[in-house]
Amino acid sequence: MIGDDPILDVAGGRRAGLRTIWLQTESTSWPEHQPGPDNTVVAVADAVEVLLQTAMPAMRD
């Protein structure tokens, strides 16, 4: 799950059993009481790179 909202996107993705990528914006800080995302990026292109790095080992098998 990729999203910019710590509660709706990241916490929701975790509750669904998904790995999470938080698209951090300058105006949003991570809530202290929430478990962190699996990855944090500042641009959508960075999220794509994380996804590609994660998928590549599985594609080689």
Query: Smallest Cα–Cα separation from 50: which of 12, 16, 2?
Result: 2
Q: Which is more confident, 56 or 44?
A: 44
10 in Cβ contact with 34 (< 8 Å):
yes
Distance CA 40, CA 3 (A): 10
pTM: 0.83
Dump pLDDT digits (tens) for 4-44.
999 999 999 999 999 999 999 887 889 989 899 999 999 99
* pLDDT of 28: 80
> From CA 24, how far away is CA 36, in angstroms rounded?
12
The more confidently predicted of residues 58 and 5 is 5
pLDDT at 61 over 80: no
Residue 29 neighbours by CB under 8 Å, 6+ apart: none
